Homo-oligomer: A and B are copies of this chain.
């Protein structure tokens, strides 16, 4: 009785998504609940496959679930201007830029910390030292 639908495992294989994750997306209302078979199995159609693929691709590009939700909503309003889509993507790009900048600053700090290590004993380890800000008990 292999009908014209996908079982959850097959949908997962096609979209590279764990079964639990698909159920999770349903639970939080990101992926519509599909109809069920007589045995209470979820029976997915092409529309679910398309939808989940969209979700996965968006997640791969680092969009948050809230952003994905917004993108899905927008994608459905076919005659609207796509300015809002553009805005979400640009905001996300800005966020990625911030993260890259932060990580590069971090990387520089780690680098100079590691460079100074003469690999003696912990007592005069420059790394430990760099991690120990001069704390003082009396107020600043």
Give chain A's interface residues, CB within 8 Å of chain B: 6, 14-15, 45-46, 49-50, 53-54, 56-58, 61-62, 71, 74-75, 77-83, 85-86, 89-90, 92-93, 96-97, 99-100, 103-104, 106-107, 109-111, 113-114, 117, 119-123, 125, 127-128, 131-133, 135-137, 139-140
Contact = CB atoms under 8 A, between A and B. Distances in A.
6 closest pairs, A vs B, by CB?
Answer: A82-B125, A78-B123, A53-B135, A46-B137, A93-B110, A53-B133
A19 B50 CA distance: 46
18 contacts: A14-B140, A46-B135, A49-B137, A50-B135, A53-B135, A61-B113, A62-B106, A74-B128, A79-B123, A80-B121, A81-B119, A82-B117, A85-B117, A86-B119, A86-B125, A89-B114, A93-B107, A103-B103
Contacts of A119: 81-83, 86
Q: For chain A, what secondary structure do more than half of its interface residues adopt (helix, strand, loop), or is it mixed?
A: helix
A92 B109 CA distance: 12
